[in-house]
Structure formats: structure tokens, C-alpha cells
């Protein structure tokens, strides 16, 4: 059963589903990060948390993976044709323990009610030696268009002006993550935790983003379940 928080998230995505794309470009930095993190993909069973319309899941499936997607939004899942998908919450996954070789979450943790619950469930459904890959926004980043401003400051202003998907006086906020804090949280349940920063097209060519990776917005956290797969 959905919580009130999750129902609000689902309703927003149902209402605004037309904004979200069904395909992802070959050179998308997030896709390339997933491919390099998870390869070789052939034969791997992967769970896509918050899969939306399945644009990343489908690309992984094309590379030979067996992908299952979950999402709270019924409208988004309706558009995820050709993908095995389930409408459910990341805090209570309807899968057996050790069912997947990898779990991915692309710009999903920012919408979650409980990061801890989602991480515990991701850990549970991963096999020994399995991989977790989270791609989300860096709270320490600078704004790509105005690099003298922290991204969080621009986010706060735009939220107050009603330019974000959630109403500014509502119960849901998009949370961004301090890279080192999420890294330390991951270390409680996972091994080999790493943080990488993706260079997005608006950031490319600007010296501060080229030379100081931690100023970039999009961040990848990767981790492993201790042990070696059979």
C-alpha cells in the first residue's frame, strides 16, 4: 500500500507524464555511466527502481540484460511498452531476496520518502557480488548557467516560483544529496562504494566544471554486495 507521500509523488508523475521522454540518446552521460558500471550486461538480471517509461531499462535490455522495472506512477508505466514492469514502492519490493545481479536508480532517490528503506530493500534483493548504481543530483554543485551560484540556491528560488513539479507548500520536496554523506550511508550496507561526477552538456566547456568535477550536478554512486557470486 502506498503512503500519503508516495501517493502525492505518483499523482504528480501521472499528471505530468507527457513531460518525460521515452528514449535516451546514445551519448547520454547517464546511460554511458550505467553501461560502463554494469558491463558485461548479457544475462544479468537488473531491477530498475523508478523506471518511468523505461528508457534506460530498454537500452540495458538491448545490450542483453533481463530487466524488470518498478514505478509508483501508473501513467508512466503505461508508456513502458515491451518492459517487464510492476507498480510498487521502492521501500517494499515484491521480489525474493537475492533475485537480481544489479539494481539501478536514475534520478529516483530524490523523490523517495525513505532513502534508508529503499537501500535496505535494494540490498536485500541483490545477490552476493551484485551491484548498485544510483544516479542523482549533487547538493554541492554549482549552477551550469550561472556557475557563481550554488545549484541549491537556484532550486530553492525556482521552487518558490512554482517552476518545479511539486508545489512549494506541499508535503513532497525533491531532495538532493551531499555526495560524501550518501557515500557514507552506502558503506553501512555495501562494499566498494565509489562516487563519480558526470559532465553534462550545459557544463561542458566551462573551466570550473571541467577542472573541478565535484562542482558538477549529476553524480553516480556505485556499490557492491560483499562476496563473490557463485
Residues annotated as part of the active site? 107
Best CA proximity match to 223, nearest among 51, 63, 37: 37
User: Please, which residues have CB within 8 angstroms of residue 106's CB and are 6 or more apart in sequence?
Assistant: 30, 34, 48, 50, 56, 135, 136
Distance in angstroms (rounded) separating the CA atoms of residues 114 and 188: 16
Distance in angstroms (rounded) separating the CA atoms of residues 65 and 212: 34
Sign of CA dihedral 214, 216, 217, 221: negative
- Establish whether the linkage from the previous residue to 94 is cis, with ω within 30° of 0: no
Contact assessment for residue 177 and residue 137, using Cβ atoms and an 8 Å cutoff: yes
Distance in angstroms (rounded) separating the CA atoms of residues 225 and 230: 13
The residue whose grid cell reads 537488473 is 46
Paired with 142 in beta bridges are 150
The residue whose grid cell reads 540490498 is 123
Distance in angstroms (rounded) separating the CA atoms of residues 18 and 32: 25
Amino acid at each position: 500500500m502506498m503512503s500519503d507521500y508516495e501517493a502525492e509523488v505518483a499523482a504528480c508523475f501521472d499528471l505530468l507524464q507527457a513531460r518525460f521522454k521515452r528514449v535516451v540518446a546514445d551519448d547520454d552521460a547517464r546511460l554511458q555511466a550505467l553501461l560502463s558500471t554494469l558491463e558485461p550486461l548479457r544475462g544479468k538480471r537488473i531491477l530498475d527502481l523508478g523506471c518511468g517509461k523505461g528508457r534506460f531499462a530498454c537500452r540495458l535490455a538491448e545490450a542483453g540484460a533481463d530487466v524488470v522495472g518498478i514505478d509508483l506512477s501508473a501513467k508512466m508505466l503505461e508508456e513502458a511498452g515491451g518492459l517487464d514492469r510492476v507498480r510498487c514502492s521502492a521501500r517494499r519490493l515484491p521480489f525474493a531476496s537475492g533475485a537480481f545481479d544489479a539494481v539501478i536508480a536514475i534520478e529516483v532517490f530524490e523523490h523517495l520518502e525513505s532513502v534508508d528503506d529503499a537501500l535496505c530493500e535494494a540490498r536485500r534483493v541483490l545477490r552476493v557480488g551484485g551491484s548498485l548504481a544510483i544516479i542523482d543530483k549533487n547538493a554541492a554543485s554549482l549552477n551550469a548557467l550561472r556557475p557563481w551560484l550554488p545549484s541549491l540556491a537556484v532550486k530553492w528560488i525556482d521552487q518558490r516560483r512554482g517552476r518545479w513539479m511539486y508545489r512549494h507548500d506541499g508535503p513532497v520536496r525533491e531532495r538532493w544529496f551531499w555526495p560524501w554523506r550518501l557515500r557514507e550511508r552506502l558503506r553501512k550496507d555495501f562494499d566498494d562504494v565509489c562516487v563519480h561526477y558526470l559532465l553534462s552538456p550545459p557544463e561542458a566547456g566551462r573551466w570550473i566544471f571541467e577542472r573541478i568535477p565535484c562542482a558538477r550536478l549529476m553524480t553516480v554512486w556505485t556499490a557492491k554486495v560483499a562476496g563473490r557470486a557463485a
